[in-house]
Homo-oligomer: A and B are copies of this chain.
């Protein structure tokens, strides 16, 4: 007699509902709870914490995959998806929100550009324990299966332990075969950054335009960073908060002269 209610798990992402990464995450989530998927109808990478306020939002049931759980697409951003799920689509608050698996890294400073992580943060703000997963491999046919048991372990831990208010998990997975993955490490966000390069071109009508490109630079060699963990084939978990206050700096600023 199994009477324990399964957790209600909201799954979303930023690559769109048909991306291989979310399909894998749905499979794993279905082993652990009752799953509802609400994801963008098209790719929304690099949307940061964008929300749709100057345009209308549409929701559609998505039936392409044969399944016995519900899937929906929205015309909005990942953050819109979480808001729509919590406030329109679901009849109760989810017990857990999983976002991803993103096609590409969201380690270090990438967390702030990431639609995947914004969905997780939005869930966190709404009091839902949340995890964003990203695989450090941009290939559409990347191997999302390699980390499967580790992903399951992380989700099980969160279901079992809960999560502190004000925190969500940023999980990054190295590009590695299963037998090469060394385990899971709790990390801090590496102090790494992008050096932008704009690829300037001229269109057939003589008008200049640019593509944003760049080089990722990591001068932070700390062995407690997500970058170190990933480079050494560990899965990194950075507990990520959305109180952005630099509390340590407040007392110094109180010595400044604002003429008060």
How does the 8 Å CB contact mask read for A107-146 relative to B, with 1 for contact and 0 for none? 0010111000010010001100000000000000000000
Contact across chains for A47 and B46 when beta carbons are under 8 A apart: no
Is the C-beta of A11 less than 8 angstroms from some C-beta in chain B?
A: no
- Give chain A interface residues in 197-222, CB to chain B under 8 Å: 197-198, 200-201, 207-212
Contact across chains for A250 and B186 when beta carbons are under 8 A apart: yes
Contact across chains for B244 and A244 when beta carbons are under 8 A apart: yes
The residues of B that contact A157 with a CB separation of less than 8 Å are 256-258
Specify which of A189, A246, A260 lies most central, judged by the most chain B CB atoms within 10 Å of its CB: A246
Q: Identify 27 residue pairs between A and B in the complex whose beta-carbon atoms are under 8 Å apart, listed by A's number.
A: A46-B50, A46-B51, A46-B53, A48-B48, A48-B49, A48-B50, A49-B49, A49-B112, A50-B50, A56-B211, A57-B198, A57-B209, A58-B208, A58-B210, A109-B242, A112-B242, A125-B193, A126-B193, A164-B246, A183-B258, A183-B260, A185-B260, A186-B250, A188-B243, A240-B245, A241-B246, A242-B244
A43-B54, A58-B207, A240-B244 given; name 14 further pairs at CB < 8 Å: A51-B113, A53-B212, A57-B198, A57-B210, A59-B208, A84-B198, A88-B198, A88-B200, A109-B242, A125-B193, A150-B258, A157-B258, A188-B243, A238-B244
**Residues of A bordering B, CB below 8 Å:** 43, 45-54, 56-59, 79-80, 83-84, 86-88, 109, 111-113, 118, 121, 125-126, 150, 153-154, 157, 161, 164, 166-167, 170, 183-186, 188-189, 191, 193, 196-198, 200-201, 207-212, 237-247, 249-250, 252-254, 256-260
